[in-house]
Amino acid sequence: MKIKLLLGLAGAVAFFNSCSGDNYDMINPSGQKLLLSKVTTTYYDDPTKPETAVETLEYNSQGELIRLQSKGRSSTFEYSNGKPVKINYYNDKQVLQYYMDFTYQGDQLTGNKAVYPNPNNNRTYSYTYNSNGQLISSTFASLQTAPNREPFHILIMGIMCQ
């Protein structure tokens, strides 16, 4: 659950950064970015025992998320030309467990790959856009979940980033 939570938070950060427009002036007229430093999430794997996770976020001088920590685990983020290109995931002993690479065509995220010590655990995600630059599909492939099948394909309709 904790890895899923970290992946979900990292994915949300990447998604919302990719969908952001230049609307900061209307929200924050001073031009100064407001950045989250802590996120508290309560989740209910067992409805009788809710659990709380607290993530601490760190940023570089450009306002890019560079580190996320929760319950001893951490993730570090690497950027190129303002875009995230790699996330490293560490366990509670700060040993690298796996990393995720991101690929782009221009400003559009075209895919990412989670790379594990055991290549059978690797996962690949590919993204397709329409002529307006809107995400229209996502494809997931993993040897572990579907060794003799075509990649799992998800069609996403009506997603607009403005």
Joined together, the tokens standing for residue 81 give 């030309």
pLDDT of residue 143: 74
- Mean pLDDT per 10-residue run, the chain (162 residues)? 52 53 55 87 90 94 94 95 95 96 95 94 94 92 60 40 34
Q: Report the C-alpha gap between 121 and 124 in whole angstroms.
A: 10
Phi, psi of 93 (to 5 degrees): -100, 10
Q: Are 87 and 77 in contact (CB under 8 A)?
A: yes
Q: Report the C-alpha gap between 25 and 28 in whole angstroms.
A: 5
Half-sphere exposure of 11 (CA within 13 A, CB side): 11
For 66-95, give one letter per residue: b (16+ CB within 10 A) or e.
bebbbeebbbbbeeeeeebeebebbeeeee
Closest CA to 158 of 124, 125, 135, 128: 135
pLDDT of residue 78: 97
**Residue 128 DSSP SS3:** strand
pLDDT of residue 154: 41
Domain boundaries, the chain: 2-20+35-155
pTM of structure: 0.67
Joined together, the tokens standing for residue 38 give 């802590």
Burial of 31 per CB tally in 10 Å (0-12, 13-18, 19+):
exposed
pLDDT of residue 16: 53
